[in-house]
């Protein structure tokens, strides 16, 4: 096992499956992370990204049961960590719309958003290369 910086990942067409869990929105350069993941997958590879279930639009989150918590941790941790590294500062509530936009920009054109009945907190993005 090794730890690598996926923003400069040299592997191309190496992996069948790559997963991330509640991580992409925290990255300084999530765009480069997603591009690195896309490049590292084999042509029929799958990327499973679990991230917070919310909208990119503030008004659409007013009825979200944990919105105050999500925005608080976003300001106190997620955005702060990313911005301190000169990053994009997406934060916890980057939302499904932004996630899908960034996945498409990285090259993923076939993306399904799945939910689990017992997990109201997260979306599961299944992206095919």
Complete domains list, the chain, with CATH:
6-128 (3.40.50.150)
Asked if 25 contacts 51 with a C-beta cutoff of 8 angstroms, the reply is: yes
In terms of pLDDT, which residue wins out, 127 or 8? 127
Q: Which segment of 18-22, 52-56, 79-83 scores lowest on mean pLDDT?
A: 79-83
Dihedral sign for Cα 2, 26, 79, 71, please.
negative
Q: Cα separations (Å) of 11 from 17, 33, 42?
A: 13, 13, 10
**pTM more than 0.75:** yes
Average pLDDT, the chain: 95
Which DSSP string corresponds to 50-110?
EEE---SSGGGGTT-TTHHHHHHHIIIIIHHHHHHTT-----TT-HHHHHHHHHHHHT--E
């Amino acid at each position: 096992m090794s730890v690598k910086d996926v923003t400069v990942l040299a592997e191309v067409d190496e992996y069948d499956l790559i997963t991330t869990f509640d991580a992409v929105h925290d990255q300084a350069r999530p765009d480069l992370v997603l591009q690195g993941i896309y490049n590292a997958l084999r042509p029929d590879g799958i990327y499973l990204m679990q991230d917070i279930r919310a909208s990119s639009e503030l008004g659409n989150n007013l009825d979200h049961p944990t919105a105050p918590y999500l925005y608080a941790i976003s300001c106190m941790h997620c955005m702060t960590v990313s911005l301190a590294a000169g990053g994009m500062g997406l934060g916890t509530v980057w939302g499904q719309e932004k996630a899908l936009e960034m996945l498409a920009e990285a090259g993923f054109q076939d993306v399904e958003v799945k939910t689990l009945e017992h997990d109201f907190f997260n979306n599961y993005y299944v992206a095919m290369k």
